């Protein structure tokens, strides 16, 4: 029982540590993967070009890697934009909640139009 409780406490500590740093760690992992992928593709490209220098297939290596790079950059850009947008929405909601708490309705007639008041 104590071992299980200890494991749960350790897992919770690890989870809390990772929760704060997950975005940075994912960025690091994806960056390392992309660097190793581009390096591997470059080595394949060089090997292919030495075997058949007159072939134009090597251009496909370049196009594919440029497209992967563009997709990765686009994803990172939109991820950052969405993150900033979410943060600004949360801030606006907090400000709206604070403003609503300060405003008290003194009279329900404020919600009625002039025509409805005349009735």
pTM score over 0.85: no
- Per-residue pLDDT, averaged over 78-100, amounts to 79
The CA radius of gyration of the chain, in Å to the nearest whole number, is 29
Range 76-83 average pLDDT: 82
Choice between 113 and 72, residue whose per-residue pLDDT is larger: 72
Q: 41-54 pLDDT, tens per residue?
A: 888 888 887 887 77
DSSP per residue, 11-56 = HHHHHHHHHHHHHHHHHHHHHHHHHHHHHHHHHHHHHHHHH-TT-S
Planar angle of CA 30, 89, 73, nearest 5 degrees: 25
């Amino acid at each position: 029982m104590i071992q299980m409780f200890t494991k749960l406490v350790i897992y919770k500590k690890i989870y809390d540590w990772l929760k704060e740093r997950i975005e940075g760690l994912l960025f690091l992992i994806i960056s390392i993967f992309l660097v190793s992928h581009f390096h591997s593709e470059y080595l394949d490209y060089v090997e292919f070009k030495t075997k058949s220098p007159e072939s134009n297939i090597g251009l496909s290596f370049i196009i594919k890697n440029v497209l992967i790079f563009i997709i990765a950059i686009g994803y990172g850009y939109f991820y950052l934009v969405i993150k900033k947008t979410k943060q600004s929405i949360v801030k606006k909601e907090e400000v709206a909640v604070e403003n609503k708490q300060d405003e008290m309705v003194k009279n329900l007639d404020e919600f009625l139009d002039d025509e409805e008041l005349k009735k």
